[in-house]
Structure 1
Amino acid sequence: MRRALSLTAVLAALLLPAIGPAAAGPEKGGVIDVATIGEPPTLDPMASATDIVGMVGQHIFETLFTFDHNWNVTPLLAEALPTVSPDGKIYEIKLRQGITFHDGSAMDSADVVASLKRWLTVASRGQQVAPLITDIAATDALTVRITLKQPYSPLPALLAFNNSAAVILPSEDQDVPLRQVIGTGPYKLKERKPDQYIQLVRFEGYRSRDGEPDGYGGARKQYLDEIRFVPVPDPNTRIEGAVSGQFAYADSLPVEQFDKIKAGKSEPVLLEHFGWPMIRMNAKQGVLADMRVRKAVQFALSESDMLAAAFGDTKFYAVDGAMYPEGYPWRTDAGVEGNYDVADAEKAKAELKKAGLGEEVPLRILTSRQYEFHYKMAQVAAEYLKLAGFKVKMDVVDWATLVQQIQNPASWDIFITHSPFLPEPALINILAPASVGWWDTPDSRAAVDALNATSDPAERVKHWQRVQELIMAEAPIVKIGDFSALSAKSPKLKGFEPSPWPAFWNVYLEQ
């Protein structure tokens, strides 16, 4: 009953000025404005796999596990990592004592069971594992048991991820759509004014883990009184706000503005090899439901030209078709040759002919200017696709509209998006048949199932090679390349650690 990153080297940050030995230590107090790329489509972290929802939501809600600075799974609301049965089918999770929700009620196993069951139905990543779960039950007030039909090695990583996240909610507040914004996080929602701000204030009842901060794990100290996430859809406005010192932090800035930011009142923050932009294709409905037409798109494109248009200087990008860059255990070139940076209009036309299609094949590209590099890539892609015989219609919308529109397979063929490099391949959402794009073939299911069924690292690497081969062969997406992400912070904002989803616990303002 309830009561009333080593990934660090890969994600290396630009060195920021260190606090000198005479600098004052952290003090509580202060309000910061964080400029984001737009208004989150929801504050329900289960219902969305978008970065903006994960970025804001991680301050309000928490998961059982999270990731440390080396991207290893580490406990958050759980007391420790799960105990797994010898056959890999039963996970027993002990919960921390004394955790309270923002409404003052105590968290117990009933909340966790209700939340995980909601996650299985609401979240795309929950739906990914739902067919394998036979039971989620509380064995006592602070213990939860998850029973699987078969081993599924990525389960702890899925439970740790903050997009389409398995956040823990009060058992009484499981409405769909979410009605109450109540979590266990270090900050709680005070006010939301759509298209103006999301105001979070310190949750005085928060219980941090002991120890030192460690990536997203470890201690989460609440120095700031208030965090205001301010939607600023226009990237030029975010740039000007950063240069003038209007924002304590400005997210997702055009990398070509690095020198301008450096000369202003903010410090540039660069995450090298942050992630990969992609063309996502609608494999469920429309012309791209035919794999041959997806291959035509793949053969038509010049990824190198798309990257050059989006990022300019090669210090901000790499032309690389492999799903993981050098330095990751998952790195493989399997399937890349002949399927990446082809830019062959005649080869693309031959695929259209195989599909029984001629010239003027209609193709709808959905994109947004809130991520300016998405828009620039879409422009280049459109020109190459026209050369290959497609009649391209480009719809430019705000990001929140795009996120809503892609849920309807009748309304788009292609959209441009991006992802950070993730520590566990099963977290790549195209591998979930229910995720937007709806890639689901007998070969893909067999390959992904084999990847997930074994816990042996060497065997998993071999299975991942097969998955990448299929991504290249069946073209549910086109990986465009690798890129670095630019943001900006105030020199007074201390304790900030650059990461794919910027977090503002353990952060304070220099007095």
Structure 2
Amino acid sequence: MKRNLLLITILTAMLFIVAACGSDSSSGNNDSDASGENSGGTLNIAIDGAPPSLDQPAVSATATRDAARPIFESLVVTDSKFNPQPMLAESIDTEDNKTYTFHLREGIKFHNGEEMTAEDVVASMERWMEKSSVTGNIFEDATWTAEDDYTVVLELEEASALVLDTIASSKQAAGIMPKEIVESAPAEGVQEYIGTGPFKFAEWRQDQYIRYEKFEDYQPVSGEPDGLAGKKEALVDEIYLHIVTDPTTRLTGLQTGEYDIVHGLPYDMYNDFKEDPNIETIMAKEGNQVLIMNNVEGLSSDIKMRQAINVGLNHEDILMAAFPNEDLFTIDSSYMDREIETWASDAGSEYYNQNDPEKAKEMLDEMGYAGEEFTILTTRDYIEFYNAGIAIQEQLKQMGINAQLEVYDWPTMVDKIENNQDEWDAVVNSFSVVSTPPQLLALSDSYAGGVNDDKVGEMMKQIEVAPTTEEAKAIWDELQLYAWEELLPVIQNGVYHYLYGYGTNVEGLTTTSGPVYWNVSVTE
């Protein structure tokens, strides 16, 4: 029987008040006035690093995810529980999870004044399939067709229950742009940032700020705001994203009122600013801190070395070194975030946080380890990575491993991860929350040289084409167990939280896979 998966129900309700400063995926003080009476002014935000681009589909950086979000919108987005909900699509039909028909909202304007039509959607989605790393096998040889001005049909080679979850992903998001922008884009990325979102791109001064202006012709969906779904309103006239790399400078700017919102409050000062009556905080679950293992070359390409290290590490101590308060992290073995109930798994948990350095020594002796240098990459650009690296190095030395720490700036470290697999054995890094397992960089066949294991690719393909999410979940449990028991492409330290701070003059700030700047107002 034909199913209508997602249909926007027209609501007339005002925005609900959501008051929270917790660690859930959608949190914060959501007291914004939906009538717009508190609108106007400028929202000054200090971010911790410049995005390499605002080209959503082409760039995986979280800085791009956050900075592009006010400009672009997708057919489908996630709510606070990571369920797909319609945005630029009015509704979506499917009979067999193989053919999807997207009925578009009519009268939606791009920032250049042109109306969004099916041709724009087709061009954007075809480019997303080409550029984004989250599409996996699902969209291989898929076709997008404009049936009429407001109807787009997706045809898959194989049925998949994960289509809408993947399109809704905020990682390398499927932002809709004008067809002419897409078709004129050179290989290095789009040259104009034109979307349908509540704010339009205005100006970018390199290493200083990115400025956005309220889009007066924005047409929001009806319905209660929930995560990235529901009604959006631009309650300020403009937004500045100030690029401020020093965490102490960001905090000082928040305390003096120079900035209304800051990203990345310093973890080592958490106990101080959480007691400050003039600062509100959101502790948002950001992702998993991991020790990436080199599965391609060197010492850690030997599974016995990876297993010995995994047996010996004390992850609670590592996390405390990186995030010096138990409020800021969670000991957890699940590759997928616990709040994504469909995918959270305990499979393989018995192999996590074993904290047995003596057994690790025995395993190293059995494999014939002879004191060769074990190189760990880290960076001071994110001090939590550096502090975790120091703790890991010390623990490896206690196991008898000749661990050496090499410290680089962030761009250099990223380049070495991707292009110089012969120069490192492990890297301290983190992976942001994703909505389905095929989006996990930890199990990618290309990131950092890849997992170098055919079984992972085969099982991911089975997950992607499973006829139901229940069947896909069973395969995912099996794959996560395999990753912990026999593969260990990464050694997971645990889940960490990212700290946003804002002044008492700010209302409505929430987070879902990064900050949400619409429905936010400021008072003088």
TM-score exceeds 0.5: yes
Cα separation, partners in 2 of 1:76 and 1:15, compared to 1, 3 Å: closer
Helix, strand or coil: the match of 1:210? coil
Is the counterpart of residue 124 in structure 1 residue 133 in structure 2?
A: yes
Do the aligned partners of 2:138 and 2:465 also contact (CA within 8 Å) in 1? no
Is the counterpart of residue 149 in structure 1 residue 157 in structure 2?
A: yes
Q: Match for 1:450: what amino acid? A: Q
Is the counterpart of residue 496 in structure 1 residue 509 in structure 2?
A: yes
Partner of 2:280: 268
Is the counterpart of residue 359 in structure 1 residue 371 in structure 2?
A: yes
Q: Deviations over 1:307-342 (max 9, x none)?
A: 111222323323222335666353433222134343
CA distance in 2, matches of 1:423, 1:25: 32
Partner of 2:106: 97
Helix, strand or coil: the match of 1:124? coil
Cα separation, partners in 2 of 1:46 and 1:386, compared to 1, 3 Å: farther
Is the counterpart of residue 108 in structure 1 residue 117 in structure 2?
A: yes
Q: Deviations over 1:340-370 (max 9, x none)?
A: 343526626735864x7531234241x3334
1:57 paired residue among 68, 81, 88:
68
Q: Match for 2:44: what amino acid? A: D
CA distance in 1, matches of 2:325, 2:455: 38
Partner of 2:8: none
1:330 paired residue among 331, 343, 367:
343
CA distance in 1, matches of 2:349, 2:304: 17
1:196 Cα deviation after fit: 0.9
Q: Match for 2:249: what amino acid? A: T
Structure 1: runs of 5+ lacking an equivalent:
none
Q: Match for 1:35: what amino acid? A: A
Do the aligned partners of 1:238 and 1:253 also contact (CA within 8 Å) in 2? yes
Do the aligned partners of 2:28 and 2:510 also contact (CA within 8 Å) in 1? no
2:428 paired residue among 391, 411, 416:
416
Helix, strand or coil: the match of 2:317? helix
1:482 paired residue among 495, 505, 508:
495
Q: Which moved more, 1:46-55 or 1:257-266?
A: 257-266
Cα separation, partners in 2 of 1:314 and 1:400, compared to 1, 3 Å: same
Partner of 2:407: 396
CA distance in 1, matches of 2:144, 2:299: 40
Is the counterpart of residue 83 in structure 1 residue 81 in structure 2?
A: no
Helix, strand or coil: the match of 2:153? strand
CA distance in 2, matches of 1:314, 1:237: 25
The aligned runs of 1:231-246 (5 Å cut-off) are: 231-246=243-258
1:31 Cα deviation after fit: 1.1
Q: Which moved more, 1:162-171 or 1:368-377?
A: 368-377
Q: Match for 1:134: what amino acid? A: A
1:197 Cα deviation after fit: 0.8
Helix, strand or coil: the match of 2:461? helix
Partner of 2:390: 379
1:458 Cα deviation after fit: 3.2
Structure 2: runs of 5+ lacking an equivalent:
1-17
Partner of 1:163: 171
Do the aligned partners of 1:358 and 1:389 also contact (CA within 8 Å) in 2? no
Cα separation, partners in 2 of 1:319 and 1:213, compared to 1, 3 Å: closer
Is the counterpart of residue 48 in structure 1 residue 56 in structure 2?
A: no
Tell me the TM-score normalised to structure 2 length: 0.85
Q: Deviations over 1:433-482 (max 9, x none)?
A: 23445224222123222222224343333222112112213011111112
CA distance in 2, matches of 1:315, 1:95: 43
Cα separation, partners in 2 of 1:141 and 1:375, compared to 1, 3 Å: same
Do the aligned partners of 2:274 and 2:281 also contact (CA within 8 Å) in 1? no
1:66 Cα deviation after fit: 0.5
Tell me the TM-score normalised to structure 1 length: 0.87
Q: Which moved more, 1:95-104 or 1:401-410?
A: 401-410
Helix, strand or coil: the match of 2:71? coil
CA distance in 2, matches of 1:116, 1:379: 43
CA distance in 2, matches of 1:111, 1:457: 30
Partner of 1:438: 450
Aligned residue pairs: how many?
A: 498
CA distance in 1, matches of 2:522, 2:387: 36
1:37 paired residue among 48, 52, 75:
48
Q: Which moved more, 1:202-211 or 1:217-226?
A: 202-211
Q: Match for 1:497: what amino acid? A: T
1:303 Cα deviation after fit: 1.1
Cα separation, partners in 2 of 1:468 and 1:508, compared to 1, 3 Å: same
The aligned runs of 1:194-233 (5 Å cut-off) are: 194-233=206-245
Q: Match for 1:85: what amino acid? A: E
1:190 Cα deviation after fit: 1.4
Helix, strand or coil: the match of 1:137? strand
Cα separation, partners in 2 of 1:436 and 1:189, compared to 1, 3 Å: farther
1:273 Cα deviation after fit: 5.0
Is the counterpart of residue 461 in structure 1 residue 469 in structure 2?
A: no
CA distance in 2, matches of 1:391, 1:96: 60
2:360 paired residue among 347, 350, 362:
347
Q: Match for 2:517: what amino acid? A: F
Q: Match for 1:247: what amino acid? A: Y
1:138 Cα deviation after fit: 1.8
RMSD: 3.0
Q: Which moved more, 1:251-260 or 1:184-193?
A: 251-260
